[in-house]
Amino acid sequence: MPVAIKSQLPIPQFIGLNSGVNLRLSPGAVSAEIEDVELKDNPKIARLLARRAITLESRPAAAGDAAGAAGTQTTASQTGPGSSAPDPAAAAKKIKPSN
């Protein structure tokens, strides 16, 4: 389940996640959604929670996230040239300037 981290300190914080990514939080800032796997068994997170330097805010999974949770993944072939996503270059070619 996605969570967000909220800084409770009046100074910036650097928080190391399990994936090796460092998260920088400004005073009172709330992070973007983070998977709970990034926080599980993380001693830095445990210390910050114990000191009340951060709080965790749970985020409910959106309807679009349910498909991702079911095991479907977006592959390069789905987002490539044959995809249904609009191509800005193709749209620009279709627009002809008026004289």
81 assigned to some structural domain = no
Is position 48 within any domain? yes
Q: Which domain holds residue 50?
A: 37-63
Q: How far apart are CA 76 and CA 80, in angstroms?
A: 6
Highest mean pLDDT among 17-21, 57-61, 68-72: 17-21
Residue 29 lies in a domain: no
In a domain, residue 57? The reply is: yes
Instruction: Round to whole Å and give the CA distance between 79 and 87.
Output: 11
pLDDT at 97: 53
With respect to residue 44, please indicate whether it lies within any of the assigned structural domains: yes
Question: pLDDT tens, 1-58?
Answer: 899 999 999 999 999 999 999 999 999 999 999 998 999 999 999 999 999 999 999 8
Number of domains in the chain: 1
Is there a domain that residue 94 lies in? Answer: no
